[in-house]
Amino acid sequence: MITFYPGPSKVYPQVEQYISEAFASGLVSSNHRSRGFMQLLEQTIADLKAKLDVPAGYEAYFVSSATECWEIIAQSLLIDSSLHIYNGAFGEKWMEYTHRISHRASDAAFGLNETLLMDRSAVFSRNELICVTHNETSNGTKVPEDFLLDIRKKVDNLIAVDATSSMAGVVLPWENADIWYASVQKCFGLPAGLAVMIVSPKAVERAIQVGERKHYNSLLFIRDNFLKFQTPFTPNILGIYLLGKVMQQVPPIDEVDKHTRRRAHDWYAFLLENGYELVVENTAMRSDTVIAVRAEKKRIEFLKNAAYKEGITLGNGYGKEKDTSFRIANFPAISDEEIATLKAFLVKMAPN
């Protein structure tokens, strides 16, 4: 099957070879306090930061999932409250999960096709954590390029960003936020079971200020170990190994970004030319990595079933758009040849 599901999505084909190499090396059976693992962790972090152009002062940690990052942030970085800015299901889930832990989360939800702008009259409490969903996987939207910069210019608050379906696919403005996180089963082109968390010196200062050490995944506990190139729990050694190999394999992020944006531009033009309706009408808010197409429920079911018979998996709709949309992943691991196959299918099935 050729899969365009937006997570878990297509894995780089080289991963099969990397798994065999990991098994043959014996590393996947090694102790996570061993020199071999510590060298692996150190090298993987270095390669990740180099390929994604992460600022030197920012630290990288590996945890189990983006969902775990919600928990870490709520436990270890909240003082007064958190404000969640979102327009889709995953941003809302982040807010709800944080509220269950802290009882101090509020939302600033906005409309699907509403251009997200910084409210110049907005007032934030000094210690309020601002949470932004950079790329909303559920509906194919993104925040505008300058939005995080506008927040950064206005306030000195800590900013956390869910980049689950954009990290490793497009260039990220690292210095415009303090906590970034993503699971690897999307733009990283890897199997699920690992997440990347990037934190600024300012976020580290906040964690020290909060001083929370009650959980196995408390941020300070994680950091203490990663500074020694160790982990606070038995880690996903295979996942870390594969991440390191893929980071060595892929081009620098500025090259990946150009490729991703060019293909996204082509996708949107192609779909409109062939009579398909896009979920996101506002061009400024359209994601470069997840493309959402709208139709009536029966037609969506027909298209997905027909695609499956031809060896193509389309992504289901999600959240409010679950029954009336399908999603197309535009992730780096998906080849141009596979995209051509899907486009040929969609031309054949075009409504006009």
DSSP result, 175-232: GG-SEEEEESSSTT---SS-EEEEE-HHHHHHHHHHT--SSTT-HHHHHHHHTTT--S
- Rounded Cα distance between 97 and 91, Å, is 10
Could you read off the pLDDT of 11-36 as tens digits, one per residue? Answer: 999 999 999 999 999 988 888 899 99
**pLDDT-derived band at 121, boundaries 50, 70, 90:** low
* Residues 77, 179 contacting (CB under 8 angstroms): yes
- Rounded Cα distance between 352 and 343, Å, is 15
- Rounded Cα distance between 102 and 98, Å, is 6
What average pLDDT does the segment 312-324 reach? 94
* Residues 279, 292 contacting (CB under 8 angstroms): yes
CA angle (295, 108, 98) in 5-degree steps: 100
Residues of the chain with pLDDT > 90: what percent?
A: 89
Average pLDDT, the chain: 95
- The torsion angles phi and psi of 297, rounded to 5 degrees, stand at -55, -45
The per-residue pLDDT for 145 is 84
What average pLDDT does the segment 194-218 reach? 97
Cis link prior to 8 (omega < 30° from 0)? yes
